[in-house]
Amino acid sequence: MGCGVRFDKVFYPFYKKDVEAGKITREEAQELFECVWIKFLETGFLHPPIWSGSGGGGLGWQTVTIGGTTNEGGDVTNDVTYLVLDSVDALKTLQPPLALRWHSGTPRELLLRATEVLGTGIGQPAIFNDHFNIPRLMKLGVPLEDVRDYAISTCMWPVIPGKNIVHRASNTGPFMTLKCLELALNQGRGMGAGEQLGPETKDPLTFSSIDEIVEATMEQFMYFMRGEFCLGNLANRLYDYEIYLQRPVLGC
């Protein structure tokens, strides 16, 4: 439910209908939303320790997206948008991550409420700029009507709900710049097992200036960055030929 779903856009018609029929109050709706957020905490995945910092697992990053535009370009903000912020503010849980789409028509009241929630220290919502993301996705060939419906999946990936769009090479892998410095100070060897991980750069005992440290670090950086690009380009080619991870088109 969470990844690639615009929560306020999808659920507002149901909320509005039940409120007008006297089946539910705003307070009762917020309690239900809070129950949903707690259910998010029951999900998780096995991850390599490098992903989660410790152990071998973590939460599912099932991001909820609010705000943004309608398919016709109008503002989508509604009472459910504020209910989501209110429920996140009340619980202060880490899951689900919350993404807020901003554009020039976003109500000032919504921005103020989002700022208040951010001010509690929970680090949510993350704010995404429609005036950057919409043109970017259009350059990839996505029709404007679909682009206006984009949502955020996991950390920061724009996806089109209900459409067969994939992350492609954006998830090639993490890149640790400080590791390049470590390797530069050890001639390309890791300080753990002592394996030769990168190119054999100069002996640090011969360094005579900070510039030589920077040069050796950048040599390590470019070595691994080239590998990262090779993996990314290979992943994109596999997707282009539709021979890897074919995904069904799901209705939303």
* Residue 33 lies inside a defined structural domain of this protein: yes
Strands (E), the chain: 5-6, 45-46, 57-58, 64-67, 98-102, 126-129, 151-153, 157-159
* Residue 114 lies inside a defined structural domain of this protein: yes
* C-beta of residue 236 within 8 angstroms of C-beta of residue 169: yes
**Residues 198 and 96 occupy one common structural domain:** no
**Residues 85 and 196 occupy one common structural domain:** no
* Residue 18 lies inside a defined structural domain of this protein: yes
Average pLDDT of the chain, as a whole number: 84
Q: Which of 164, 197, 227 is the last residue of a domain?
A: 164
For 187-239, the pLDDT digits (tens) are 999 988 889 999 999 999 999 999 999 999 999 999 999 988 887 777 667 66
**Residues 190 and 131 occupy one common structural domain:** no
For 161-192, the pLDDT digits (tens) are 877 555 555 556 667 889 999 999 999 999 88
Give dist(CA 184, CA 25) in Å, integer. 62
For 14-60, the pLDDT digits (tens) are 999 999 999 999 999 999 999 998 888 776 665 555 555 544 455 66
The order of strands in the sheet holding 5-6 is 5-6, 64-67, 98-102, 126-129
Give me the percent of the chain exceeding a pLDDT of 90. Answer: 56
**Residues 114 and 31 occupy one common structural domain:** yes
The reply to whether the predicted model has a pTM over 0.75 is no
**Residues 110 and 12 occupy one common structural domain:** yes
Domain assignment of residue 184, given as a range: 177-240
* Residue 80 lies inside a defined structural domain of this protein: yes
**Residues 122 and 151 occupy one common structural domain:** yes
**Residues 112 and 189 occupy one common structural domain:** no
* Residue 11 lies inside a defined structural domain of this protein: yes
